[in-house]
Amino acid sequence: MNPKPVQNKSQGFVLSKRASRFRRLGSLAGESLLLLITSTSALAVLFIFYFIAKEGLPFVRLCGLRDFFTSTKWYPTAQPPMFGALAIFVGTGLVTLGAVFVAVPLGLAAAVCLSDVLPFSLRQVVKPIIEILAAIPSVAYGFFALVVFAPLLQDHGGRIIAGVFGLIGIPTAFLCVIVISDLLASRFEKPQQNLIRVVSWTVLGVSASFVIYALLKRFASLSVSSGANALNVSIILGIMAIPTIVSVAEDALQSVGRELREGCYALGATRAESMIRVIIPAAGSGICAAVILGIMRAVGETMVVWMASGNAAQIPSPWYSFLEPIRTLTATIAGEMGEADHITGSARYHVLFLMALCLVGISFLCDLASEWVLRRGSLRRGGH
C-alpha cells in the first residue's frame, strides 16, 4: 500500500501568496492600460485646444480684438489688411438659427411619432431610413445645394419658400389644434367634452387656416436674387441635423418607460395629454440635449456653407434676411487657410486660428450645456 503524499503547508502558502501577487499586478496593469486608453482622447482634446490657442493668440498681440469683434470690414489682402469678423459671426448665427427652425420641429415631431405613434414593426423600418441621412457625406449635400437647390431658389424662390413653410407649418398647426382641443376638453365634464372638442377644432382650425393662407400668399410673392444664400444653407443644414435630434430625442422618450404611459392612460388621460403633460416633461433633459447636439452639428458644418452660402462677408439688410449671401466661420477658415502664409505666420494666418478657437469654444460650451442638462435630468429622475 502506497503511503499518502505529505503536504507542505508552507510551500502552498508561498504559492498562493505568489499567485495573489500576480493577480494584483495583472489587475493593476489592466487598469493602467484602460486608464491610458481613456486618457488619450482627453489628452488629444487638450492638445487641440493648446495648439489652436498657441496659433491664434498672436493675432491679439498683432491687431487686437476690438476691430475683430466690432468691424464688418473683412479685407485680408488689402494694404493695410482689415480683419473685421462681425459679419462672419452674424452669418454663422443666422445660418444656425435657420437650421434650428427647420430641424427642431421636424426632428421632435419625428421622435414623438417613432416613440408613441408608429407600431414597433414600422418603427424598425422608419428609424434606420432617417439615420441614413447622417451617413450621406456633407460634400454630397453641398453639391445638391449648389447644383440643384440654388437654381430652384433663384427661379422659383417664393413658391419653394411657401412650400417649405406649408410642409412644416400645416402639420404643426394641425397637431397644435388637436392638442389644444384635447387640453380644453379635459377641463369639462364627460358629457360636454365632445362638444368642446368640435367647437375648438372649428374655431382653431379656421383661425389657423386664415393665418397659414395669408403667410403662404406673402411667401409666394417673394423674389430671390441669388440661390446661394442663407436660406439654402439653413434648409440643408436643418436636414443634416435631423438624424441627430431624432435619435437622441427618441431615445430620451423611450427611456421614460412604458409604466408611466400606462399610468396616465389608467387615470383617464388622452394620448395628447399624456405626451404634453407627462412624457415630454419627463424626457425634457434628453430633448434639450438633442437640440443642443443638433445646434453643434449646424455650427460645425463646413462643406455645405462653403459651397452654397455665397461667401459674402456682409450683414444682410435687414440683418435677419435669409435671402442674401452670407459667410460663416467654418467657410472662412476652409477658404482662407490655403492662401494664408503658413511659414512666416502672418496676421491672416493667425486670425484663422482665432476663428477656430471661437468655434471650439462654442462647441465646448454647447457640450457642457448638454452634459449639464442630462445630469440634471438624471438627478431629478433619481429623486435627488
In this prediction, residue 162 carries a pLDDT of 86
The verdict on residue 122 lying in a domain is: yes
In-domain check, residue 72: no
Cα 68 versus chain centre, distance: 27
The DSSP element (H or E) to which 205 belongs, if any, is helix 190-220
Are the C-beta atoms of 341 and 55 separated by less than 8 Å? no
Spatial separation of the C-alpha atoms in residues 287 and 345, rounded to whole Å: 44
Q: What is the CATH number of the domain that holds 178?
A: 1.10.3720.10
* Per-residue pLDDT tens digits for 9-54: 555 555 576 777 778 888 888 888 888 888 888 888 889 889 999 9
What domain count does the chain have?
1
Cα distances (Å, whole numbers) of residue 194 to 184, 188, 206: 11, 10, 18
Percent of the chain exceeding pLDDT 70 equals 91
- Residue 121 structural domain: 103-318+349-382
* Within a domain: 202: yes
pLDDT of residue 377: 64
Q: Does residue 251 form part of some domain? A: yes
Output Rg (C-alpha) for the chain, integer angstroms: 29
Distance of CA 342 to the CA centre of its chain: 33
- Does residue 295 fall inside a structural domain? yes
- Asked if the structure places residue 246 within a domain, the reply is yes
pLDDT, tens only, 164-173: 788 777 877 8
HSE-CB of 59 using CA atoms within 13 angstroms: 26
pLDDT at 382: 58
Over residues 315-339, the mean pLDDT reads 86
Q: Is residue 196 part of a domain?
A: yes
Asked if 290 and 248 count as a contact pair (C-beta separation under 8 A), the reply is: yes
- Report pTM: 0.79
In a domain, 185, yes or no: yes
Q: Is the pLDDT of residue 6 over 60?
A: no
Model confidence at 316, pLDDT cuts 50, 70, 90, reads confident
3-state secondary structure of 100: helix
Return the half-sphere exposure (C-beta side, CA atoms, 13 A cut-off) of residue 348: 21
Whether residue 91 contacts residue 230, with contact meaning beta carbons closer than 8 Å, is answered with yes
Distance separating alpha carbons of residues 254 and 111, to the nearest angstrom: 10
Report how far Cα 17 is from the mean position of its chain's Cα atoms: 55
Query: Are 85 and 292 in contact, with CB atoms under 8 Å apart?
Result: no
